[in-house]
Structure 1
Amino acid sequence: MNLRTITVATLATLLTVIGAISIGHDKVQPFPQPEPVTVSEKTAIKFKPQLNINFGCGVYPAVNAAGKTNGGLKGTGGVSGYSYLYPTTGAGDFHDLIMWDQLTDAARAALNTTDFGSAKVPFSDDNFSEKLKNAWPF
């Protein structure tokens, strides 16, 4: 074995350990919606939103059951920073819904530890309580 092979193997191992290696967005298999069991799960399914995406970003999973995260998508258009929300027009589509506790341990760990740059996972252990507190209108 030469020095180059050892260096590449060591670097690949280190990147894997620190979570810097990701898989393509089209390689992440989404979680299927499990049958709801608890009252919370049944309520979440009953009131899950319909998403009507006319243009812009679609819905893509960020993590698979093994805890591998996607590398994101590179934008092809301008970035306006504006979000369009028209909740009373267009029925939209239902997408499978999975609760945090229904994710695998590996998936939860990946969402808790992966560095997504400036994007922060809103429902991670570190962020959820603060996001929920800020959403409370009273």
Structure 2
Amino acid sequence: MNLRAIVFVAAAVLFAAIDAISIDHDKVQPFPQPEPVTDSEKAAVKFKPRLKIINGCGVYSAVNTAGETSGGLKGTGGDSGCDDYGKIAPVSKFDIIDGTAPKFGVSTAPYVSDGYLYSTSEDGDSQDPIMWEQLTDAARAALETTDFGRADVPFVDKNFSEELEDAWPF
């Protein structure tokens, strides 16, 4: 194979990854949870969280194995489903764990720029963890390069270190 052909193939692959195809949010097939092999994968499965959507939209996969990304949900202009009355009450530390699964609530109140996550005693749905290394190359490339508007992907290379620093409590 000559150098010209190699460069052409490499460029085609690069442009295909950068120009990821956007598909309807409900057409993105989630990654199946692979059998855990490493210690971190086993821990992620053992302690996978239960997520209760308190306010806002449900969780949808953003990318599939081919690197096609969700086009997202389009706003309708209405805010009838956006009420948040600050349901805050003391939560027993024993109520926020279901066996080994921590229970989290997520809310995307209209007055908060990003969604927020907190401990809750409410039961939610189990979320299958997929580690970054378990994603296909096409999926990782799409998450790194797709513009999701105001939503930042926290675990891509350009954001990950800053997200860890922001999460550090000390």
Return the letter of the residue paired with 1:131. Answer: E
List alignment gaps of at least 5 residues for structure 1: 1-14
Partner Cα distance (1:84, 1:16) in 2: 33
Partner Cα distance (1:90, 1:119) in 2: 26
Partner Cα distance (2:54, 2:42) in 1: 29
**Which residue of structure 1 aligns with residue 161 of structure 2?**
129
Return the letter of the residue paired with 1:128. Answer: F
Tell me the secondary structure at the aligned position of residue 127 of structure 1: helix
Shift of 1:42: 0.8
**Which residue of structure 2 aligns with residue 104 of structure 1?**
136
**Which residue of structure 2 aligns with residue 49 of structure 1?**
49
State TM-score, norm by structure 2: 0.65
**Cα shift readout 1:49-93 (whole Å, capped 9, x = no counterpart):** 101124420010000000010100023442613457552321211
Residues 1-138 of structure 1: pairs in structure 2 closer than 5 A:
19=19, 21-76=21-76, 77-78=78-79, 80-82=110-112, 83=115, 87-138=119-170
Residue 103 to residue 89, structure 1, CA distance change in 2 (3 Å): same
- Runs of 4+ residues deviating >3 angstroms: 15-18, 81-86
Tell me the secondary structure at the aligned position of residue 53 of structure 1: strand
RMSD over aligned CA atoms reads 2.2
Percent sequence identity is: 69
Partner Cα distance (1:51, 1:58) in 2: 10
Partner Cα distance (1:63, 1:42) in 2: 23
Tell me the secondary structure at the aligned position of residue 121 of structure 1: coil
List alignment gaps of at least 5 residues for structure 2: 1-14, 83-109
Tell me the secondary structure at the aligned position of residue 157 of structure 2: coil
Return the letter of the residue paired with 2:23. Answer: I
Partner Cα distance (1:39, 1:86) in 2: 26
Tell me the secondary structure at the aligned position of residue 42 of structure 1: helix
Count residues with an aligned counterpart.
124
State TM-score, norm by structure 1: 0.79
Return the letter of the residue paired with 1:27. Answer: K
**Which residue of structure 1 aligns with residue 95 of structure 2?**
none
Give the strand-richer structure, 1 or 2. Answer: 2
